[in-house]
Chain A
Amino acid sequence: MENKNFDIIIIGGGPAGLTAGIYLSRAKVNVLIVNEGISGGQMVLTHQIANYPGFENISGYALSKTMEKQAKAFGCNILSNVNLTKVSLNNEIKKVEINSKDIYTSKAVIIATGGKSRELGVIGEKDFAGKGVSYCATCDGDFFQNKEIFVVGGGNSALEEAVSLTQYASKVTIIHEFDYFQANNHAIEEAKKNSKIDFILNSTITGFYGEESLKRATVKNLKTGEEIDKNIDGVFIFIGYVPQSEFFKEQITTNSRREIIVDKNLTTNIPGVFAAGDVIEKRYRQITTAVSDGTVAALNAIEFIQK
């Protein structure tokens, strides 16, 4: 890319970042999206989306591609699969370094780095990823035909995916750290009335073991401290997301959950630096709310650079 000086740089290419890109480029603002993955962020990982207005049913991949195409059509520059190596946000001119060599500058920055699947962080989890440990029921469910599996988590994703996995597995045991669920009533009822689903509450997994593939897991009762070994073929983990704010923590104020703190205009603690989408402190994380954030951040960023 010849030009390295932009009006606004957006870091992150999920629904918040792409929406900001669409609004900014359509307003003839010289904008660059730098994205460490492919366009769409977590949205790409969603098999079917049925609650995005305007589409009765669309895959996350298709919606991502459409948003990206829309942004590019208005002249938005997008650099995907880059490695973000340094960011300087405190000065009037912001600097974003990628791949340890290319430095891009702008008058304002929008951080829209989203979140990533939360991991249990226990022994064997990484070793058995794709070999019995999974974070995607629609991708890997059919490897567990007539097998016994665990689902870890107590939110909507965990309970809904547990129900969906009963079409393959002979038995699904939901392991959850509390004695209540955070999911909505409908999801809880559906899981409870499914005869293939059992529950182990107040518990968590503390380790994964096996050889070529996963063979057993240790389950710890968080109230009694008792730990038991369970033979198991597969474990699906749905315990939410963590905001990807680590890279900015020296400059941007975050809360104890590492979410970026913003005001109603989505301004961070640094003038000219905005944040949008799943990376910010908020209650509801949906594609629709990310799109809304992207819009608000973009419009406020335009106002900021035109001052």
Chain B
Amino acid sequence: MNTLSTDLTHITSEAQYNEILKTQENVMICCGRMGPMCIPVYGEMEELESEYTNVKFYDMLFDLPDAHVIRNLKECSGFMGIPFTIYYKNGQVVKATSSIQSRKQITEILNEKFGK
């Protein structure tokens, strides 16, 4: 298995990740597994996709070798809980969270960093 069972667009390689960050202005990536703390975040993202048309939403399987691009981000150095959720603006990390996040927490970040 190299993708997650979600309705989000999956990132499966470092090259794809780099291309997305190079071409997209506002990006949210949730990197996790099909586990209890991750699934609710994917669910929120799936529903927010149509609401935040200015943001591109992706997921990435935490155990993919190429997911080191997220696992090794300096912004994630203290993280000890999945999923790692990263928000990028013009290719730069503007916010990173670990573990489960509520819709309120996610939308607060989306509104603050990207607007609506």
Contacts and interface: CB of A to CB of B under 8 A. Distances in A.
A134 B36 CA distance: 12
Given A38-B40, A130-B97, A130-B99, A212 B78 contact: yes
A129 B99 CA distance: 7
B53 interface: no
A138 B44 contact: no
Interface stretch (A19-27, A43-51, A217-225, A278-286): A43-51
Contacts of A83: 104
B36 A47 contact: yes
Contacts of B81: 129-131, 134, 136, 139-140, 143
A80 B47 contact: yes
A80 B99 CA distance: 21
A139 B33 contact: yes
B39 A44 contact: yes
Nearest to B77: A212
Contacts of A37: 40
Given A37-B40, A38-B44, A81-B103, A234 B35 contact: no
B78 A213 contact: yes
Interface residues of B, number: 23
Contacts of A12: none
B98 A81 contact: no
B43 interface: yes
A126 B103 CA distance: 17
B36 A60 contact: yes
Nearest to A129: B99
Nearest to A212: B78
Given A37-B40, A81-B103, A130-B97, A61 B79 contact: no
B45 to A, nearest CB: 11
Contacts of B35: 47, 136, 138-139
B93 interface: no
Interface string B28-68: 00000111111110011001000000000000000000000
A144 interface: yes
B80 A143 contact: yes
Nearest to B5: A61
A140 B80 contact: yes
Contacts of B39: 38, 44, 61
A170 to B, nearest CB: 15
B21 interface: no
Interface string A242-260: 0000000000000000000
Interface of A: 37-38, 44-47, 59-61, 80-81, 83, 129-132, 134, 136, 138-140, 143-144, 211-214, 233-234
16 contacts: A37-B40, A38-B39, A38-B43, A38-B44, A44-B40, A45-B37, A46-B36, A47-B35, A81-B47, A132-B80, A136-B36, A136-B81, A139-B35, A139-B38, A140-B37, A214-B80
Interface of B: 33-40, 43-44, 47, 77-82, 97-100, 103-104
